[in-house]
Amino acid sequence: MLFIKRLITAFLDALFPNKCIGCDAIIPKGESVCAFCLENLSKTNFDTRCKVCGNLKKECNCKYHIFHFTGATAPFYNDGTAQKIMYAFKFNRKLHFAKFFAERMVISVKSDFYGTDFDCVVYVPMALKKELKRGYNQSRELAKEVSKILNIPLIENALGCNGKRFPQHKTKLKERFANVKGMYFPNVSLSGRNVLLVDDIKTTGATLDECAKALFKAGANDVYCVTGLISKRKQKKR
Ligand SMILES: [Zn+2]
Ligand SMILES: [Zn+2]
């Protein structure tokens, strides 16, 4: 029986080989990304990004909007293989990538927010209906790992979400800020705390900013943001 089982496994492996998420190269079973793709992920650069909004300095959004959070950072740009990995994590239940991103997000936090003592980690909440459908909130999964690595407590459900989070990718900068206005509210007191806010992708920063506002309402002293990816694309003012 064992022999037949092995034969079937070998047959299926030959028929459906394990492929790299980035380039489709055949890679060993259990792995997700090949060494070449891992090496060539679109990493953000400490020297060329704005320390407040996290964008490239030449694409800085701070001139269009005064952000409430003190700073935002991310290890990767929202393109190429890094984006494919994030989508696999976010939409295809590849939850092991939470650790992959968290390890790199922590490095960004330590370099960009050097010397800041964080009291807690929180995450951007999802509308309940959406979370039930997906089965998990990817931002919470990232926050759990970030909290573990940094050894800073995670506060579950620190923020609540008022209904629907609009798909933000097709709207203009001003609309994005309007779409999320009043969407988040605090569930706990964060009096005097320095908060590290975690999300999966930062595009304009509208969601993070709205969450930061809610965190300040809860009494937070300072709010810093870290995401797995940050969009490089320039946002036009309207
Ligand atoms: Zn590859
Ligand atoms: Zn900026």
pLDDT digits (tens, 9 = 90+) for 66-120: 999 999 999 999 999 999 999 999 998 889 899 999 999 999 999 999 999 999 9
Question: What is the distance in A from the centroid of ligand 1 to the CA of 79?
Answer: 14
CA distance readout (Å), 16 to 10, 24, 200: 10, 12, 30
Same domain membership, residue 210 and residue 98 = yes
Whole-prediction pTM: 0.88
Look up the domain containing 27 and give its range: 1-40
Residues 60 and 21 in one domain: no
Ligand nearest to the CA of 209: 2
**Total structural domains in the chain?**
2
pLDDT (tens digit per residue) in 168-207: 566 677 788 888 888 999 999 999 999 999 999 999 899 9
* The two structure tokens encoding residue 133: 């459908």
How far does the centroid of ligand 2 lie from the alpha carbon of residue 139, in Å? 23
* Contacts of 8 by beta carbon, 8 Å cutoff, 6+ apart: none
* Distance (Å) from CA 190 to ligand 1 centroid: 43
Q: Could you tell me if residue 202 is inside a domain? A: yes
Query: Any idea which ligand is nearest the CA of 21?
Result: 1
CATH of the domain at 159: 3.40.50.2020
Reading the block at residue 183, the tokens are 């969407």
The pair phi, psi for residue 108, each rounded to 5°, is -60, -40
Do 56 and 121 belong together in one domain?
yes
For residue 88, report the distance from its CA to the centre of ligand 1, in Å. 14
The answer to whether residue 164 is domain-embedded is: yes
166 Cβ contact partners less than 8 Å away, ≥ 6 residues apart: 179, 180
Residues with CB under 5 A from ligand 2 (ion): 50, 52-53, 60, 62
Judged by its nearest atom, the ligand closest to the C-alpha of residue 49 is: 2
Residue 189 is assigned to a structural domain of this protein: yes
